[in-house]
Chains A and B, each alone.
Chain A
């Protein structure tokens, strides 16, 4: 069966520090991968998605970036965090194709102080 791992679960970082959140998927190959941010426990904002290694699509201009160095690995990064980067970050995968459901990790709670 497929599983998705996301870490760390919580993170407190000072303004201006770098960020690296990692997500890996097991049990499937060539998944579509996604990074979402959720503010105040409400709707999800799509940040990045990837349909293949090295292919990244950015949805929202910001100081975050994403990379996919391996088929089942998705990394969210920042060189310098802002206070507004605080939130709940969720990684997800889908098998692709019309109507494919998303399978989410358990999220990372990021607090920028």
Chain B
């Protein structure tokens, strides 16, 4: 079973600060997704990355997929209180099932006003 580590597990910052959260594994991913989950709701997809070295931007959010497709990062510029939530980066195993995403524990981000 692939182990997927997310760091940090908890992050509390002030509005306007920048931050980066990480997603790492010893295994190669065929693709990886980033979701944000707000309390009491289901996770919502932010982005999917597929190609090693790929960079995608979604307004103030920048997602990067590692060259070897074993890790990914999410950078948020000038964080806002609306960015608060649990960030999850599940991935599909390379050569594994196309049906099952592996989830880590997530990064719980709190942006304080």
Contacts and interface: CB of A to CB of B under 8 A. Distances in A.
Nearest to B44: A104
Interface residues of A, number: 28
A45 B41 CA distance: 16
A100 B45 CA distance: 11
Residue among A6, A92, A96, A100 having the largest count of chain B Cβ atoms under 10 Å: A100
Interface residues of B, number: 26
A91 B88 CA distance: 16
B45 A103 contact: yes
A6 B108 CA distance: 24
Contact of B50 (A97, A99, A102, A103): A99
Contacts of A90: 42-43
B48 interface: yes
Interface stretch (A14-22, A61-69, A74-82, A105-113): A105-113
Interface of B: 30-31, 33, 35, 39-45, 48, 50, 86, 88, 90, 92, 98-101, 103-106, 108
